[in-house]
Amino acid sequence: MDTQKNAILVALLREYGHIHRSLAAEVNRVSGRIYGRPGVATDRDVRRWISGAVRWPTGRYLLPLAEVFDRPPEAMGFVPRGVSSRLPAPPTSVRPGEEQSVKRRTFLASTAASVALVLGLDETPVRGRLTLADTDRVSETIGRLDVHFTAIGGGALLAVAAAYIDRLRDAVDGCTYGPRVEQALHSAISNLHSTAGWAAHDTGDGQEARLHHAAALQSAILAEDKRAQARAWSNLAMQARTEGRHREALRINQAALNSRQVRQDPRIAALLHSRLAIGHARLGDRPAAARSLFAAETAHDRFDTAVPPPPWLAFLDAAEIAGLGAIAHQAMGRLPEAEIATAQALRLLGPSMHRNRAYYAVQLAELQLAQGDTGRARTTATAVDTAALSSPRIGDRLAAVNRLLATA
């Protein structure tokens, strides 16, 4: 049987500073806490996971691995066997006080219920006094939800985000807190609505997405959080563009750039200028689109790589700038340039960016097909892996490409 090296797991070992032997030891240590007795993984097991000889480890190893790297199995490069991609539940023999820790730290990607369980959403207080430590934990949870979206898409996350929004609103009404905590709560609710909006977008539910993005803006205004406002404005512009309201999208993007604080944040500025370029391109203003693309690239050059971005902006790197530029070129009818930029985005994408890799691979197939290159389009489309994704929108686009190829 052909095997394929698990490059994602290799990258994770490098990122976390593990060698084969130390990862096996860590898996055994975590396994001991989960199952009540040490694990028996060896460096040979790690080599087999990396080589692809074992594409889906047994639950005894998979549950500790998910905790060690704090992500679902698919985001570690593992491929489900058959129809099941669920992690096993922690054993009932877990000692008191340990089960919730396991639930908090283990991503279960298969269903909304398992994701909610792992993130520990029900641990946010809805009575009593809230402190900034509580809101920090809320923000960390939302950040992990954003990481989950980046890894496999938002299809399974809409219900999770909506339920957590309800819980945070219960906290706003049922708890006591000071002014700073109140602002932090509204910022968190705004960011959660933005995440929910993108999850709805991934499912193809435009109406639900629009409602969440509008609610995100409202909460960001209550929080007096300019960055959250810019995020909400940007998402509203994206939604308007998706619905064909290009002039409205352009105006919203311009409004988002009105804040000096936003313009001076290179990451947010790069995102807004990239989307502004798409807006100008859709309206046929090529010079303005070119200026916005240049502004986005200039802002990208100013990124402070020593400071980690907020989780919701972690996707915005050189690959995403190239991908958004490709969309602008496509809107201007410059298909060869769009194809080159999309291919560049795919080359630059990190190994854990499953959703974006599938998104831009489908975009590349669409561009090749639009230029009449059915051979390469078929090769590109065939290589798109959506098995580990939860994004009906991307799946629908790939299906449309395959239907066109079937009649070509």
pLDDT for 223-237, tens place per residue? 999 889 999 999 999
Reply yes or no on whether the pLDDT at 361 is more than 90. yes
State both tokens at 104: 């908090």
- Give the model's pLDDT for residue 83: 43
Q: Distances from the Cα of 95 to the Cαs of 63, 102, 124, in angstroms?
A: 16, 11, 23
Letter for the amino acid at 361? A
Q: Is pLDDT at 286 greater than 90 in this prediction?
A: yes
How far apart are the C-alpha atoms of 365 and 27, rounded to whole Å? 40
Write the DSSP symbol of residue 75: G
CB 327 within 8 A of CB 242: no
Largest CA distance in the chain: 66
Tens-digit pLDDT profile for residues 112-152? 555 555 566 667 888 889 999 989 988 888 888 887 777 76
d(CA 79, CA 85): 8
Residue 2's pLDDT band, with cuts at 50, 70 and 90, is low
pLDDT, greater one: 33 or 239: 239
- pLDDT for 117: 56
Structure confidence at residue 36 as a pLDDT band (50, 70, 90): confident
**Who's near 201: CB < 8 A, 6+ residues apart?**
154, 209, 238, 239, 242, 393
How far is 68 from 62, CA to CA, in rounded Å?
10
The arithmetic mean of pLDDT across residues 34-53, rounded, is 85
How confident is the model over 166-187, as a mean pLDDT?
Answer: 92
Flag whether pLDDT at 320 surpasses 90.
Answer: yes
